[in-house]
Amino acid sequence: MRRRFATVSMLACLLAALGFLAAPMAMAADDVAIVGTLVSPDGKPVVGVAITVEAEGFSQAATTGADGKFSIPVPKGGTYQVTVDETTLPAGVTLANPDDASRSILVLNGQKRLLFKLSVGGESTNGSSDGAGTDTSDNGLVGQVSQLLVDGVLFGILIALGAVGLNLIFGTTGLTNFSHGELLTLGAFTAIVLNELGINILIAAPLAVVISALLFGWGQNKLLWKPLRRRRTGLIASMVVTIGLAITLRYTILLLFGGSPRSYQQFAGQAGFEIGPVSVTPKSLILAAIASVAIAATVLWLQRSRIGKATRAVSDNPALASATGIDVERVISVVWTLGAGLAAFAGIYLGLTQDVSWNMGQRLLLVMFAAVTLGGLGTIYGAIVGALVVGMFIQLSTLIIPTEMKTVGALFLMIVILLVRPQGILGRRERVG
Amino acid sequence: MDLGFVFGQSITQAIGVTAIIYCLAAMGVNMQFGYTGLLNFGQVAFVAVGAYSVGVIVVTLGLTLWLAIPISIFASVVLALVLGIPTLRLRADYLAIVTIAASEIVRQLVRSIALRDVLGGANGINGKMGQEFHDLNPFPADFELPFLTYTRQDLWVVIVGWALIAVLTLLIWLLVRSPWGRVIKGIREDENAVVSLGKNTYVYKMQALILGGLLGTLGGVIWAVAKQSVQPDNFVPDVTFFAYTIVLLGGAARVFGPIIGAIIFWFLLVFVGEFLNQAIQAGWLDFLEPTDIGPIRFILVGIGLMSLMIFRPQGIFGDKKELALDGR
Amino acid sequence: MAASDRLGPRALEAQAVLGQVENRPGVPKPDPILVADDVVRRFGGLAAVDVEHVEVQRGSITALIGPNGAGKTTVFNLLTGFDTPDSGDWTFNGRKLAGVAPYKVARLGMVRTFQLTKALSRLTVLDNMRLGATSQRGEKIWASWLPFLWRSQEEEITTRARGLLDRFSMLPKEADFAGSLSGGQRKLLEMARALMVGPELIMLDEPMAGVNPALTQSLLQHIKGIREEGATVLFVEHDMDMVHDISDWVIVMAQGRIIAEGPPGVVMKDPSVIDAYLGAHHTKALTDSGESLTTSPGGEQ
């Protein structure tokens, strides 16, 4: 096993009276471990707090030592539930949000930040503040909401990258592509291959986007979908084909690259910085900025360029577009290329901010579908709006529901929206006959 | 290399407990997808409902299996209604998206820490399930033939399972040959045409969804009773797509399709797995490791699903006349 | 003028009655089976249909014509409940139909066909026909396990289906999959299937589109036959020869509105009608003879 370590930094909200503050600490162990230090804002260690780390078939508890440090070795990378035993917190100190006591985190190589909001004097009538703060729970909530909103927008932009391609392909061909998630995975792994060949990710990433767009977008359409359209394979049959393709691709990646998550060689463990109550890493800000530009460029392209306008015409009515001299097959080809390129970018984005694994795209597929359904199948603005809504909903929902359930919440939202407004937020009613 | 063992395992599994479970799930998919044209991509949720109903009622609550079965049926109908009401008025793809999402919702809910006390979290529910059923076992001992070996318990499940499938197949055969069957096949071909002839297609689609879901749920009940263990990660979307592959292998909209499909599917899957395993042990395939067998089997399923859907949706024994019609 | 050869009694009656009716859009008729008021349907900002008032005379063959995009198919969709208008009311046999589900509209006796034929490909021709029959006891899910409940009804239905197939010269094909039929045969099948519902008003959306010319004459005879048996026919068509040949009354739509009504000979000389077609088909040559509108090919596919 490769030498790996994971660090969990528990960052206190600066506005909280008391918080965890942990310096990243490397563990020179063969196994992954979750380590951290609990410090109050005045720099004193918080001693004797019980922390439990749990996963499937695994449970380990530890208590912060005299230096406020704790270390819990875990068998492998993966998702763990980190629980802070509130009863062991020093007197007068509580978690601002009781649901926060138990959080699920993804442990990989590198560093992970986790925010536990603390407040002092949970019961204000008591007035038993230790002087550091007054009415801090309110500020704590503001801080938490801000952090989640920022996380939500960043996640939403990532979803939008995937959803825009999904929706363009749906719009022009009518195909609901259940293998779109694998386009993300393929993009991320193309970049991994290049990266591991020694190419810096700054170069490998754009290269991988171009390769994916041509190979997995243009090529896929050319080799699979164009012949199927020529055979006049129905849409329902095609959807089943996308399922078969998704399974084939996913397990081929698993076979070739194995099941353990990977990271790119650069920017893996980037430290975050704080803007007010919000902590972000520079890489996710930069990635989100580039992604926004890419999405904006796509929208502009659809509105301004000749082929972009043709794309919209084909989405509207393929037969009519064809009759007016638009080369529908060319438009579809361009859309597949573009869609796969955006998806590859989304995959690399996901890989840089989290990890690269064989089922990363599959895990995001349903979230992308939720975004697209929410916004309206086939409408490009709908996909973007839907993605942002879903991204923020997923993050903000953790204020109320357990973190492990956040995706469930988004999928549930999708079903409710379908009941109330089936055509999505921005969708139109269809014409029959 | 012990080809006899490979063969024996393949045959045993081809008509074994797992094949029965998947056959039932596939019969449901055949009702929904094959006859009615409904894309239920969340069939595994119905299987999970069956398995977990037994797990919760029998192990968590300590009640009888005979109560668990009606409750599982009730839960299955409720799930079908929840999925069907928002989506069956919409285009086919909405049902596909919502059902696959629902199957993931169900899986995440049953594995959640919040509901761990009832549903067992990630470890699932383990323990004696359906003792009442196993007490009825008339067989005195394990069953052994050269190529067919079952434990006493499995033998009882296998015999009751196939008998159940036989009865259900007869009922489905009557159903699809009746005017009701004509309506659902019409919906598959073109729903608006059927509407224009005065049929309330929404009701028919709902009935087909419920019926197909129930078949999956029965598979889930058998799962719990036979395996005495239900775990959330058994119920991933791949189960649904195995069922689709089985339906296409046997031929969509054929009464015996799921039976033929399930037997061939599990024979091939086990054969490939065991054969590769033996070949790797024998040192013939140095570039592979035993852990690669799983992904390889999945890849074969994926390729199979694609090729069958494209080239032979009417099944490997399908009729040529229908093949000529394809392309719509 | 309307074909005077072999006119049946109901045709003569309809033409006599309609002869008394004024030739203007929205004109009331003595015995309307279908009446629509202020039916508006917008797609985006565009009013695809904006019909102030229209009536269809019982027992007539009425043609609905107009250039591409005039909103004819949308009118069909709206009236039969397949699409929902933004506003409007309409009655069939005096019964209000706004908001009524399309399958109920069909059961009430107003049955439509589609522009792109909807033959149920992987059902046999005979099963396509049987599906059309209403109130089938065997269509209840539980009844399928009790065949004795519906056997006799099924036999009646089959006899009736065979009778219709025979009339449409399709009996030899009864065991074939509908998907193996030619385009024209599918049109015939769809029409025959609609008759299985027992409609009082049958609405045909481009019955001639894509039909082999050899079949055209027999199709026309069938439509005339439908009327002689007591049904009312409303149809959308592009083929002006056909409109001329079989319709008693023509309603002309352009840009969602009704711009003219009257017997075919009169309407086709109406300058506003010619303008409407000219506006849409700049290149189409129009003769200035009585047979003013040339056959316009193609449909709104």
Which range is least confidently modeled, A56-70, A148-162, B80-94, C171-185? A56-70
Mean pLDDT of C65-74: 88
Band (B165; pLDDT cuts 50, 70, 90): very high
Mean pLDDT of A401-406: 85
Mean pLDDT of B299-307: 95
pLDDT of A423 higher than 50? yes
Give residue A157's pLDDT: 96
Give residue A186's pLDDT: 97
Mean pLDDT of C159-183: 92
pLDDT of B24 higher than 80? yes
Give which of A251, A365, A430 to mutate to test B binding, by max B Cβ within 10 Å.
Answer: A251
Whether domain C9-119+195-280 has CATH 3.40.50.300: the reply is yes
Which range scores top for mean pLDDT: A43-57, A406-420, C90-104, C236-250? C90-104
Phi-psi region of C88 (alpha: psi -120 to 50; beta: other; left: phi over 0): left
Mean pLDDT of C256-270: 90
**Distance between A243 CA and the closest CA of chain B, angstroms:** 8
Determine phi and psi for C169, rounding to 5 degrees: 55, 40
What digits encode the pLDDT tens for the residues C114-147?
A: 988 888 999 999 999 999 999 999 999 999 999 9
Band (A77; pLDDT cuts 50, 70, 90): low
Mean pLDDT of C226-237: 93
> What pTM did the predictor assign?
0.83
Give residue C5's pLDDT: 56
Q: Which residue ranges does chain C devote to CATH 3.40.50.300?
A: 9-119+195-280
Band (A206; pLDDT cuts 50, 70, 90): very high
In 10 A of CB A69, how many CB atoms?
Answer: 18
**Distance between A156 CA and the closest CA of chain B, angstroms:** 19
The tally of domains found in chain B comes to 1
Band (C296; pLDDT cuts 50, 70, 90): very low
Of the two residues A91 and B163, the one the predictor is more confident about is: B163
Of the two residues C271 and B322, the one the predictor is more confident about is: C271
Give residue A38's pLDDT: 67
pLDDT of A4 higher than 80? no
In 10 A of CB B114, how many CB atoms?
Answer: 14
Q: Directed axis angle between helix B92-110 and helix A235-257, to 10°? A: 40
pLDDT of B48 higher than 90? yes
Q: Which residue from C80, C121, C130 is facing B182, i.e. has the nearest CB? A: C130
User: Which SS3 state, helix, strand or coil, does residue C107 take?
Assistant: helix
Kindly compute the dihedral angle of the four CA atoms of residues A137, A143, A145, A149, in this order, to the nearest 10 degrees.
180
- CA–CA dist C128, C165 (Å, integer): 11
Mean pLDDT of A257-263: 90
Contact A166, A379 (CB under 8 A): no
Which range scores top for mean pLDDT: A218-222, A230-234, A374-378? A218-222
Cβ of A433 within 8 Å of Cβ of C301? The answer is: no
Band (A422; pLDDT cuts 50, 70, 90): confident
A-chain residue closest to C298, CA distance: A323
What digits encode the pLDDT tens for the residues A272-298?
A: 788 878 888 888 899 999 999 999 999
Mean pLDDT of B274-285: 90
Band (A429; pLDDT cuts 50, 70, 90): low
Mean pLDDT of A240-265: 94
Contact B195, C82 (CB under 8 A): yes
Give residue C251's pLDDT: 95
What digits encode the pLDDT tens for the residues A108-129?
A: 544 444 545 454 433 322 322 2
Site of tokens 């109130």: C135
Mean pLDDT of C254-279: 86
Alpha helices in A258-379 (DSSP H): 282-304, 306-316, 318-323, 328-353, 360-375
What digits encode the pLDDT tens for the residues B108-149?
A: 999 888 888 889 888 899 989 988 999 998 988 888 887 888
Chain A positions with Cβ closer than 8 Å to C = 319, 428-429, 431-433
Kindly report the average pLDDT of chain C as a whole number. Answer: 86
Kindly report the average pLDDT of chain A as a whole number. Answer: 78
Q: What is the CATH number of the domain that holds B270?
A: 1.10.3470
* Contact with chain A for residue B242, Cβ under 8 A: no
Of the two residues A8 and A355, the one the predictor is more confident about is: A355
Closest CA to A307 of A323, A329, A286: A329
Cβ of A432 within 8 Å of Cβ of C77? The answer is: yes
Cβ of C82 within 8 Å of Cβ of A433? The answer is: yes
What digits encode the pLDDT tens for the residues B77-97?
A: 999 999 999 889 888 888 899
- CA–CA dist B135, A210 (Å, integer): 64
pLDDT of C239 higher than 60? yes
Give residue A130's pLDDT: 31
pLDDT of C112 higher than 90? yes
Band (C182; pLDDT cuts 50, 70, 90): confident
Buried b (16+ CB within 10 A) or exposed e, B197-230: bbbbbbebbbbbbbbbbbbbbbbbbbbbbbbbbb
pLDDT of B234 higher than 80? yes
pLDDT of C215 higher than 90? no
Q: Considering only CB atoms, which chain B residues are within 8 Å of C145?
A: 171, 174-175
Band (C4; pLDDT cuts 50, 70, 90): very low
- CA–CA dist A46, A22 (Å, integer): 11
Q: In angstroms, what CA-CA distances link C289 with A231, C265, C268, C279?
A: 47, 11, 10, 19
Domain that holds residue B244: 3-325
What radius of gyration do chain C's Cα atoms show? Answer: 19
Q: Can you list the domains of chain A with their CATH numbers?
A: 6-134 (2.60.40.10), 149-420 (1.10.3470)
Which range is least confidently modeled, A19-23, A152-156, B221-225, B322-326? A19-23
Q: Considering only CB atoms, which chain A residues are within 8 Å of B301?
A: 244, 247
- CA–CA dist A409, B112 (Å, integer): 13
Cβ of B180 within 8 Å of Cβ of C104? The answer is: no
pLDDT of A245 higher than 90? yes
Q: In angstroms, what CA-CA distances link B40 with A236, A329, B311?
A: 11, 30, 21
